[in-house]
Amino acid sequence: MPRPAVNVAVKAARAAGNIILRNLNRVEGLNIEEKSRHDYVSEVDKLAEAEIIKELRRAYPDHGFLAEESGQKGRTEKVWIIDPLDGTHNYLRGFPHFCVSIGFRDHGDLVYGVVYDPLRDEMFTASKGDGAFLNDRRIRVTKREGLAGALLATGFPYRQRRHLGPQLDMTRALLGEAEDIRRTGSAALDLAYVAAGRLDGYFETGLNPWDMAAGVLLVREAGGQCSDFAGKAGMPDNGNLIAGNHFVAAAMAKVISAHSPPTLL
C-alpha cells in the first residue's frame, strides 16, 4: 500500500504529465529560454513545475521545495526535490524519452520518490523501507555479477564540458568490459530503468539533486546501490553518480576511479 505522501506525489506527477503531453504537439510554438550554453528551459517546464508545487503545497503547506526552475523555497528540513521535465532537450525535439521526477528528503534522508513517464504511462514509486514499484508491481535491479554482458547508461556533461575528456576515458574503459552503453538524455528515467532491471548500471558527472533524488531512492529500494565515483555510498554532493546492483556498482566504481581526476572523486 503506497504511503499517503507518495499518493500526493503521484497525483502531482500526473498533473504535470498532462501539461507535458498537452503541449507536445505545439513544441515549435513554445517560449524557450537558454539558461546557459546548451541548457534550455521551456514554458512547459515552468507550467509543470508550478502545478507540482501547487499540488504538494495543498497537502503539505509547511514543506519546502528545491525545484529546477524556481530554486529553493522555504527553510525547513522537509523538502520536495522536483524536476518537472527531465529530458527537456529530448522533449523539444520530439524524442520520446523524458519524465517528471519528484523526491522527498526529510532531515537529509531520502524518504519518497516518484518518476513518471507520461508517454508510456509508467509510474515508478518508492518509499524508504517499502521497496520500489512500477505501476504497483514490485521491481528489482538485475542480478548480474559484474560488467561482463552489462548494459549501462550515461549522460554527457553539456553544462560542464571540462569534464567531457575524463568521462570519455571512463566510457572507453567501461566499454572494454561491458556489453554496451546507452545515452538517452534523462538521468531520472535512466535511474528508474536501473531500478526496474532494464539497465544494469548508470553513471554521470555533475548531476543536480533534482536530477537524481527520486531515482537514487528507487535504485536503493529495488535492492541496488548508489555512490560517488570513489564508491562512497549515498547521493553524492558533487553530483558524480554511479548506480547499479552491488556487484555492478562496485565494478563500475573500480573502473571509473582509475580514470577520474581527483576533482571528480
Domains and their CATH numbers in the chain: 4-138 (3.30.540.10), 151-264 (3.40.190.80)
CA pair distance 246, 109, nearest whole angstrom = 20
Cβ proximity of 151 and 199 under 8 Å: yes
When pLDDT is averaged across residues 183-194 and rounded to a whole number, the result is: 97
Please compute, for residue 214, the number of CA atoms within 13 A of its CA located in the half-sphere on the CB side: 34
Question: How many other CB atoms are there within 10 angstroms of residue 193's CB atom?
Answer: 27
* Local structure of 107: helix, strand or coil: coil
Phi, psi of 162 (to 5 degrees): -65, -20
pLDDT digits (tens, 9 = 90+) for 66-118: 999 999 999 899 999 999 999 998 998 889 999 999 999 999 999 999 999 99
pLDDT tier at 44 (50, 70, 90 boundaries)?
Answer: confident
Cell of 129: 523501507
This model's pTM is above 0.85? yes
